Structure 1
Amino acid sequence: MVAAESAASDLLRSLGLDIDTDEMAETPRRMVAAYHELLTGPDVDLTTFPNTEGYDELVLVANIPVRSVCEHHMLPFVGVAHVGYLPDERILGLSKFARLVELVARRPQTQERLTTHVADQLITHLQPRGVGVVVEAEHTCMSLRGVRAQGTRTVTSALRGTLRDAAARAEFLSLAREQGARP
């Protein structure tokens, strides 16, 4: 962390900021701690259970908080994910959806990559009949700088397996849109 704090100090100074004031003296340390928190996290054990009831309808976990960092500007993007699946032989513990989204989000990336990676991880670990992921997020690299388009949300989706079929796709996307529209 010492090297990161030194680099943060150098960056701030090279941008013309005086970090030798009482207000800014701890900023390099805080900056490193903030990025460390945004970019690292514990591994997640995706606990699955036998689908003893033979449940075969859509399961949707909506409005999962998403916080990640744009790899192009190293600025945060924040929003929600809606993650659904069609179970097969195993079902996933519900808290694991939020844990998986959080784990995948803790790296610099594009929103498109985050969305597809969540879907692919569920396919790999759960082997369901289908998976759908929709992520809606506001990118501060777009709202705080450049075009400054505050309130603009980017929506990405990834559909796998039987959720690519027209009827299942329509049901999942309709439910995700409905959930996303709620306050």
Structure 2
Amino acid sequence: MHNELKQSYKNIITAVGEDADREGLQDTPKRAAKAMEYLTQGYRQTLDEITNNAIFSSDADDMVLVQDIELYSMCEHHLLPFIGRCHIAYIPNGKVLGLSKFARIVDMYARRFQIQEQLTHQIAKAVEEITGAKGVGVIVEAKHMCMMMRGVEKQNSSMRTSVMLGNFRSDSKTRNEFLQLIKG
């Protein structure tokens, strides 16, 4: 994969009218290929692998909130970054997930070509699947470079998406508690 990406980046540099052999660009295809491999590593990961059995029995049945998880992803429409944060809440149903695993779940799905709506849904479904939670709420807030750097060029725009599953969808008190907690 690396050599294929490297050649593709060299072709892009040439196609835009640059000299790919110019001193400052000679190693760019190699560096860009390495960066792209990293930015898309989510395709080569699985939920079981990243959670690594960090699921523990627990009597806890109150809301658990992990807030402000940084995320960096790539818009599947323009291959430009979108950058933001994710808030995840769940109501345990006999099992809790190790804290760092929430960030790993976010990263696994964010490190794929994405749209924010799908990313939010994938994170929520993954938390539900791995924990068997009574309910899951996920909110993603992000700024999209495809909207900021090109097209309409709106620098202060951001997008917010949410997915509510189980109790978060059916119980307005649970949903409202989540929304109040993330306001800080």
Return the TM-score normalized by structure 2.
0.91
Matched, 1:167 2:139: no
Deviations 1:94-153 (A, max 9, x none): 111111111111100100111000000111111011000000011111111111111321
Count of aligned pairs between the two proteins = 176
Matches within 5 A, 1:50-65: 50-51=57-58, 54-65=59-70
More helix by share: 2
Q: State the Cα distance separating 1:45 from its structure 2 match.
A: 2.1
**Contact map agreement 2:61 2:94 (CA 8 A) in 1:** no
Moved more, 166-175 or 126-135: 166-175
Displaced runs of 4 or more, over 2 A: none
Q: 2:50: which partner in 1? A: 44
State the AA in 2 paired with 1:33. Answer: K
State the AA in 2 paired with 1:20. Answer: D
In 1, Cα distance between equivalents of 2:150 and 2:178: 34
Report SS of the residue matched to 1:156: strand
Matches within 5 A, 1:80-91: 80-91=85-96
State the AA in 1 paired with 2:180. Answer: S
Deviations 1:54-108 (A, max 9, x none): 2221110000011111000011111100001011111111111111111111100
Q: 2:32: which partner in 1? A: 31
In 2, Cα distance between equivalents of 1:50 and 1:24: 53
Q: 2:158: which partner in 1? A: 153
Report SS of the residue matched to 1:157: strand
Moved more, 62-71 or 38-47: 38-47
5+ residue gaps in structure 2?
Answer: none
In 2, Cα distance between equivalents of 1:7 and 1:105: 23
Report SS of the residue matched to 1:69: strand
5+ residue gaps in structure 1?
Answer: none
Q: State the Cα distance separating 1:25 from its structure 2 match.
A: 1.1
Q: State the Cα distance separating 1:174 from its structure 2 match.
A: 2.1
Q: 2:18: which partner in 1? A: 17
In 2, Cα distance between equivalents of 1:72 and 1:62: 28
Deviations 1:136-182 (A, max 9, x none): 01111111111111132110001100011211111112222x14xxx
State the AA in 2 paired with 1:150. Answer: Q
State the AA in 2 paired with 1:102. Answer: D
